[in-house]
Amino acid sequence: MRALAVILFAAACSRPSSPPVVELAEEPVRAAPVTDLDFRDVVLQGIADDLVREARFRGIEEVSGRNRVERLLRLEASIGKSETALQRVNYLTSLLLAHDASEWAKLRQRAEAELTGRNDPVARRVLDLLVRWRHKKSDIAFSYLSSNYTHFINRLEWEHRFHDFVAARPADAATWGWLLLRADAAAPRQEYGRADAETAYRYYLKRIGRGNAREARELFSVPGVQITAAP
């Protein structure tokens, strides 16, 4: 079973056409010596050491990938003797992703469950955002497990990463603002005297301690980004 790890090797999701997009930088694929496969997790390191010994015995000295975890999985697949590294990576990834459990993460989960199966334009737009975020989370997890981390990403850190993800595309910020408004129109109305997707997004920024009113105003001022359908 490929579970979480294969998500990195799937085809990229299609992106909706519309407003200007500022893409988040992706890690480049690069070749590195197999001896570069160092991991913080002791169990994963032991698995990597075994694979490196086998690789060098077979004359394999380099492997390509965007980060150490991806290179490890590619090396294991090329050797083809087991899926031990894949299983350990899936386990660690599931632990890491379990920390994405804030009230907003739960809102995203509910929205995805509710809208899956619908085929109207709003549902497609919301689901596109949420599916791309799930893929991005797996990318983040692989990069994190490849680093010399000292702690797992906590709930607020996950939310900050989600904010960075949606703030890179005005249409995504507007979609998220629409979902926030749909979940709770009372809070932005009480805080700002009106309830719309922009004020819902602005209130979210205040709650997570990220961004400001200017960010919300600039993102929502891009023509055509807002969802016109009622929440």
**Residues with Cβ < 8 Å from 69, sequence gap 6 or more?**
39, 89, 142, 143, 145, 146
pLDDT of 157:
97
Q: What is the pLDDT of residue 26?
A: 62
pLDDT in tens, the chain (231 residues): 344 444 333 333 333 333 333 333 467 899 999 999 999 999 999 999 999 999 999 999 999 999 999 999 999 999 998 999 999 999 999 999 999 999 999 999 999 999 999 999 999 999 999 999 999 999 999 999 999 999 999 999 999 999 999 999 999 999 999 999 999 999 999 999 999 999 999 999 999 999 899 999 999 999 999 998 887
Distance CA 129, CA 229 (A): 17
Confidence (pLDDT) at 213: 92
* Boundaries of every domain in the chain: 101-220
pTM for this one?
Answer: 0.84
Q: What is the spatial distance between Cα 115 and Cα 113, in angstroms, rounded to a whole number?
A: 6
In the prediction, which pLDDT does 47 show? Answer: 98
- pLDDT at res. 13: 32
Burial class (CB in 10 A: 0-12, 13-18, 19+), 53: exposed
